[in-house]
Structure 1
Amino acid sequence: MTFGTIFFIIVAAIVLFQLRNVLGRRTGNERQPFDPYTRPEKKVDGPTQQGNVITLPSRREGTVIEAVAAEPYAEIDSIVPVGDPVNAELRRVQDADASFAPKQFLEGVKVAYEMIVTAFATGDRKTLRGLLSQEAYQGFESAITDRESRNETMTSVFIGIDNARIVSAAVRDREVLVTVNLVSQLISSVKSATGELVDGDPETVVEVRDVWTFARDVRSRDPNWKLVETQSA
């Protein structure tokens, strides 16, 4: 063995000794290498169910959905007392037509009433055709034609509705029907071709009581109700 060989062996031994001191030996307790794509585990206080780390919030009581589910007829009960036959009839209507809301329905009836009364006075057949059933329209149109044949002119001033109250309701086949008692204030008069007063009074407000029935096809996509029958209270 030459001197050079012995020298390299000594140098290699010294280097290995230094590396062992710097790096140390593995004991099994070393920190794991950092992995930037692995989330650190979080400590969870309290027991978890089926290993869920995040506990879902419990269902709150008193929510709107629960209220509706608990009292689906609350709006009906607010306008017609429980025990009244009309209450039971309206419940059947709501069962057949889930979109039925009695308060909104009554507001729509008030608007339709004014439109129909005004359209009849002016002979506006187009408006009447959109608000009336075919049978009801024929009756209104016949009265307008008869008035026109005598060259009479009708004037109607709508003052307002004092009361609108549901008095009956029914479900017939695919139709739901609701009848409303209406008390309104009108100024109405009819004059002849020569200007003579034929009916009513152009300066007097009168109370008019009507009972109108509206219907809607529950299978139709058209949400509108139409007037199907009229009578005086």
Structure 2
Amino acid sequence: MGDSFQFIDIIFFAMIAAFLVLRLRSVLGKRTGNEKPRRTPFDAQAPDRRDAEDNVIDLPGRRGQDGDGEPEEEPQPQVRGGWGRAAASGVEAVRRADPDFEPESFLGGARAAFEMIVDAFAKGDKQTLRPLLSDAVYDGFARAIDEREAAGEVMQTELLGFKGISVTEAGVDDGIAHVTVEFVTEQVNAVRGRDGDVIDGDPERIAKVTDLWTFARDTRSRDPNWTLVATRTPDDD
């Protein structure tokens, strides 16, 4: 008699376990390997563009570059605090406002955006620039492109590699998340005039360039994309 009760108990608990497994699968979903890849922060246009102060336009062809030599091995993106714990606490604030925010994935998207923007600016490709930039930054870039074209100047830029990519500042202000990324790159830059002579930069010189770019996103919006809202160099601070 006792053995029959134990057998019934085993069946009862097995039924409960099976029910819980089915419930978990219905709530969490079952991975099939065919899921759509997660969108990066720069996959598409961001219609809700925000302006920001200090929208300095300081791109290839800039003076004050330093360093020569062969390109070094590219590092992995890093999240570090440029000013003590401020950056780390800022990243946590962004995570609280946007639970889907992943710093490593963000830096991968920021790197891709950096490459696209630098290349498009050098080529004068406003169509590519428009969805990646805030209104204020786009106006500055477009004005610089127009002035360059009016003067008959041609910019040549070759981005050889990244020496460092890191978050230096982050935070949330009235629902707007902002993340500042430091890009340390090796580039070859030159600007040629109408006659083809080099008027700025050096086509034979590898220069180390440091940029501080700030990206922003409205965390209250369903649009997951970020836009570039400010650019500067350490010399501007």
TM-score range, shorter chain: 0.5 to 0.7
CA distance in 1, matches of 2:120, 2:5: 72
CA distance in 1, matches of 2:165, 2:118: 15
Q: Please list the CA deviations of residues 114-164 of structure 1 after superposition, one character each: whole Å capped at 9, or x if unmatched.
A: 110000000000111011111110111111111111010001111111111
CA distance in 1, matches of 2:5, 2:217: 58
Is the 2:160–2:185 Cα contact (8 Å) retained in structure 1? yes
Partner residue, 1:32: none
Identity of aligned residues (%): 39
Partner residue, 1:54: 14
Offset, 1:218: 1.2
Partner residue, 1:45: 6
Q: Secondary structure at the match of 2:187?
A: strand
Give the aligned length: 173
Q: Please list the CA deviations of residues 83-131 of structure 1 after superposition, one character each: whole Å capped at 9, or x if unmatched.
A: 8221111111000011100000011111110110000000000111011
TM-score (norm 2): 0.67
Q: 1:45 is aligned with what amino acid?
A: Q
Q: Secondary structure at the match of 1:145?
A: helix
Partner residue, 1:74: none
Q: Please list the CA deviations of residues 33-74 of structure 1 after superposition, one character each: whole Å capped at 9, or x if unmatched.
A: xxxxxxxxx94527849x9453644x9xxxxx9xxxxxxxxx
Is the 1:86–1:167 Cα contact (8 Å) retained in structure 2? yes
Q: 1:202 is aligned with what amino acid?
A: P
Partner residue, 2:101: 100
CA distance in 2, matches of 1:52, 1:145: 77
Is the 1:48–1:55 Cα contact (8 Å) retained in structure 2? no
Q: Are 2:125 and 1:124 aligned?
A: yes
Is the 2:80–2:166 Cα contact (8 Å) retained in structure 1? no
Offset, 1:79: 3.9
CA distance in 1, matches of 2:90, 2:150: 43
Is the 1:156–1:189 Cα contact (8 Å) retained in structure 2? yes
**Structure 2, unaligned runs of 5 or more:** 21-27, 29-77
Write the mapping of 1:167-182 to structure 2, written as runs, cut at 5 A.
167-182=168-183
Q: Are 2:87 and 1:86 aligned?
A: yes
Task: Label 1:47 to 1:194 Cα distance change in 2 as closer, same or farther (>3 A).
Answer: same
**Structure 1, unaligned runs of 5 or more:** 1-41, 60-64, 66-77
Specify which structure has the bigger relative contact order, considering alpha-carbon pairs within 8 angstroms and separated by 6 or more residues. Answer: 2
The structure with the largest alpha-carbon Rg is 1
Is the 1:44–1:53 Cα contact (8 Å) retained in structure 2? no
Partner residue, 1:159: 160
Offset, 1:203: 1.7
Q: 1:146 is aligned with what amino acid?
A: E
TM-score (norm 1): 0.68
CA RMSD of aligned residues (A): 2.7
Is the 2:215–2:230 Cα contact (8 Å) retained in structure 1? yes
CA distance in 1, matches of 2:153, 2:80: 43
Is the 1:216–1:224 Cα contact (8 Å) retained in structure 2? yes
Task: Label 1:176 to 1:127 Cα distance change in 2 as closer, same or farther (>3 A).
Answer: same
